């Protein structure tokens, strides 16, 4: 019986190892997400994006992202460590003429993000201690 105690302790410690928890946290980010809320003074999300809501897809393994701002498409890389992230770009982006403030608000808030919280259905992007965007997972078809 005493032979198994060191093995049990090793198993318990390895499950709490930062590398294991980091991979688990990061893997929640993987996939495609559609904006449901953005912090913006004076405008609702519906007013900012009357045609189509912005989307972001994360490829965690390759640290790549692509998406739609509500007007233009973009892609680029990002930095990630556990729940900390850097989405400052630079991003390659199409340059269609955009009306309204939606794209500007989306990109400004995205640039300030430095951490996230995610579960199976919801992704919250956080700048400092303020939730600046909330996105919902887009189902794989």
* Residue 109: partners with Cβ closer than 8 Å, 6 or more residues away: 38, 39, 40, 125, 127, 132, 133
- Residue 52's pLDDT is 94
Is the pLDDT at 111 greater than 70? The verdict is yes
Is the pLDDT at 58 greater than 60? The verdict is yes
Is the pLDDT at 38 greater than 90? The verdict is yes
- What share of the chain in percent tops pLDDT 90? 68
Q: How many residues does the chain have?
A: 141
**pTM tops 0.85:** no
Is the pLDDT at 94 greater than 50? The verdict is yes
Write down all domains in the chain, each with its CATH number in brackets: 4-137 (2.40.128.270)
């Amino acid at each position: 019986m005493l032979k198994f105690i060191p093995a049990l302790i090793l198993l318990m410690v390895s499950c709490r190892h930062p590398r294991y928890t980091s991979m688990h946290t990061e893997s929640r980010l993987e996939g495609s997400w559609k904006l449901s809320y953005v912090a913006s003074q004076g405008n609702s999300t519906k007013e900012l994006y009357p045609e189509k809501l912005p989307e972001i897809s994360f490829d965690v393994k390759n640290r790549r992202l692509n998406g739609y701002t509500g007007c233009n498409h973009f892609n680029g890389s990002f930095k990630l460590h556990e729940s900390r992230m850097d989405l400052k770009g630079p991003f390659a982006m199409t340059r269609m003429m955009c009306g309204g403030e939606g794209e500007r608000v989306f990109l400004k808030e995205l640039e300030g993000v430095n951490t996230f919280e995610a579960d199976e259905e919801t992704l919250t992007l956080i700048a400092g201690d303020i939730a600046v965007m909330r996105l919902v997972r887009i189902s794989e078809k």
